[in-house]
Amino acid sequence: HPSLAVRRAALLPPPGAAGTPGAPGQPLPVESRPFASYGSALHIALPQPVRAGQLLTLEIDYEAGEGPGVCWLAPEQTAGKQKPYMYTQGQAVLNRSFFPGFDTPSVKCTYSATVKVPEGFTAVMSATSWEKQKDNTFVFKMSQPIPSYLIALAVGDIVSADVGPRSRVWAEPCLIEAAKKEYDGVIEEFLAVGEKLFGPYVWGRYDILFMPPSFPFGGMENPCLTFVTPCLLAGDRSLVDVIIHEISHSWFGNLVTNATWGEFWLNEGFTMYAQRRISTEVYGLAYTCLEAATGRALLRQHMDNTGEDHPLNKLRVVIEPGFSLFLGVNPDDTYNETPYEKGYCFVSYLAHLVGDQSKFDAFLQAYVNRFKFQSITADDALGFFLEYFPELKEKGVDSIPGFEFDRWLNTPGWPPYLPDLSPGEQLMKPADELAELWAADGLNMEAIEAVDITAWRTYQLVYFLDQVLQKSPLPEGNVERLSKMYPKISKAQNAELRLRWCQIVLKNNLEAEYSKVKDFLHSQGKQKYTLPLYRAMWGGSESARALAVETFSATAPQLHVNVQNYVKKILGLEVAE
């Protein structure tokens, strides 16, 4: 990456060779050659030709820190507001600004690191072992081969608490009690179900680091140490299923990895399927179908925004070498639902072809076992599927008209097959009916009061609010009544509910509750919550636009730079190159 400066390179003597240990090695000429818009190729000339399989030890001295993969937070961007913080975010092609390496998901390697930090700070990494030595120096080792994008480092005022036999939570001191309470005991349950379904958990520990509020993502599945948004600390365990998604990556993505970012659905579609399998075992089919319906609605929204035939809306995306379509490499293409939800539909279609859940579960376990620690293409995955089910191969299931594997991969648009989510209807129907009642001209308070929502879980409330949002603006006075009637919703601490309530406030231009929008945007900087609210404000009334400008000027310094740029774009402000 242009932000990384290579000072020198040297060839070190092979391990165990005669000579002084720690000798400087033989200096080698280094040059940078053009490669792509987001990075160049580092060429190092070796003194003599090498044989295939020969072990070389290269030492590269470099300086980094200014690049997009390394995030430096001022104290005001943290939860504790006392000390600075830094973390790295490698996915998809940003770790080339953290260290020189083969920054492609097609290459896997082990790594080790020695990190020295100032007094009063702790370093953590995505590694199978870590040890604190003297002088505030931490030594890390990752003993399993991983792709470069999963190497991650965070340094801050952070402490930990155990929440299970192989899990602990890490957070700033002011959040650690909340983190322990929310996650005590639950992680082990999810890991155990994952192992039962997909085979052994190979990473040793599963720890979670609660990031500062400005962290722009929901979670990043760094092995052994998932980075997550503090928005998951809802106080009532209502958002723990987000962790199921990150845990599922321990098999799909981290163990079996897409060889190119153009086939990102191999990471995310399989992970969504795995997440919903675990969720079905833990929470039951009805609730999982309801969550999946929320996901389908997001896919619908995304395709309506971009147009179904947009080239991003296919599972196999043609991109320049190694190019990533998301996470700030090209700010025009923010987070895209297609690899997640359309990918989920394709994996569900494969399960539907098999027709027997336990047989498909066995296939997934065989798939993980066959490709573990490798990077694969869609052709590898689908080839293995047909090889595992020869009777399906015989029937030619890869070319059923309208459902051809080729069409799934290469034709943009709505998925040809949608899994049946009707078991969720027992939870959706009451939510649909209640939303209808609130959208009526004269409110039937008797019917409304007869519906008890106290036992509704998060996704049932989310589904209800999505329906209310679709029907908004509601008739005069209805939203005010709704707000008074359900403080559980209008005063929620749960980020998923807060997002939707803020969207409803804006769509109905309920100025009395604008402060809730402002408070929510002041409290966190997650891209998936921040951008929709700025879009809603900018598309709303004069006063909503004024709220957008006022909120952004107050919170900009606490946002991730990519998110700042996305918001500037929405508000029509100049984006610094």
| Complete DSSP assignment for 517-554 | HHHHHHH---HHHHHHHHHHHHTS-HHHHHHHHHHHHH
Q: Write the pLDDT tens digit of every residue in 246-274.
A: 999 999 999 999 999 999 999 999 999 99
**Joined tokens for residue 180:** 């322990």
- What pLDDT is attached to residue 481? 97
Q: How much helix, strand and coil, in percent to the nearest 5, is found in the chain?
A: 45, 15, 40
Q: Structural domains in the chain?
A: 1-65 (no CATH), 66-243 (3.30.2010.30), 256-410 (1.10.390.10), 428-571 (1.25.40.320)
**Joined tokens for residue 502:** 């803020």
State the pLDDT confidence band at 20, using cuts at 50, 70 and 90.
Answer: low
- What pLDDT is attached to residue 335? 61
Count the neighbouring beta carbons within 10 Å of the beta carbon of residue 115.
17
Q: Lowest-pLDDT range, 25-39, 137-151, 384-398?
A: 25-39
pLDDT at 325 over 50: no
What mean pLDDT is predicted for residues 328-333? 40
CA distances from 90 to 128, 172, 324, 505, 557 (A): 18, 22, 11, 36, 22
pLDDT at 179 over 50: yes
**How far is the C-alpha of 483 from the C-alpha of 470, rounded, in Å?**
17
How many Cα atoms are found within 13 Å in the side-chain-facing hemisphere of 315?
Answer: 26
pLDDT at 324 over 60: no
Q: Give the residue among 277, 292, 271, 442 at the shortest CA–CA distance from 360.
A: 277
Contact 178, 120 (CB under 8 A): no
Q: Residues comprising the binding site for a peptide?
A: 89-91, 216-221, 526-528
Q: Write the pLDDT tens digit of every residue in 52-79.
A: 999 999 999 999 999 889 999 999 889 9
Q: Give the residue among 226, 241, 118 at the shortest CA–CA distance from 186.
A: 241
Average pLDDT, the chain: 93
Instruction: Tell me which residues are annotated as active site.
Output: 246, 340
State the pLDDT confidence band at 38, using cuts at 50, 70 and 90.
Answer: confident
Enter the pTM of the model.
0.93
Q: Residues comprising the binding site for Zn(2+)?
A: 245, 249, 268
For residue 30, the one-letter residue type is V
Q: Write the pLDDT tens digit of every residue in 289-298.
A: 999 999 998 8
The top-scoring range by mean pLDDT among 49-53, 305-309, 497-501 is 497-501
Angle CA 268–205–93, to nearest 5: 40
Cα Rg for the chain, rounded, in angstroms? 25
CA distances from 211 to 86, 93, 228, 530, 573 (A): 10, 21, 6, 16, 28
Where are any strands of DSSP class E within 277-429? 374-376
**How far is the C-alpha of 152 from the C-alpha of 254, rounded, in Å?**
13
In 3-state terms, what secondary structure has residue 146? strand
pLDDT at 556 over 70: yes
Contact 315, 346 (CB under 8 A): yes
Q: What are phi and psi of 270, to 5 degrees?
A: -65, -35
What mean pLDDT is predicted for residues 86-100? 93
Count the neighbouring beta carbons within 10 Å of the beta carbon of residue 471.
17
Contact 64, 98 (CB under 8 A): yes
State the pLDDT confidence band at 30, using cuts at 50, 70 and 90.
Answer: very high
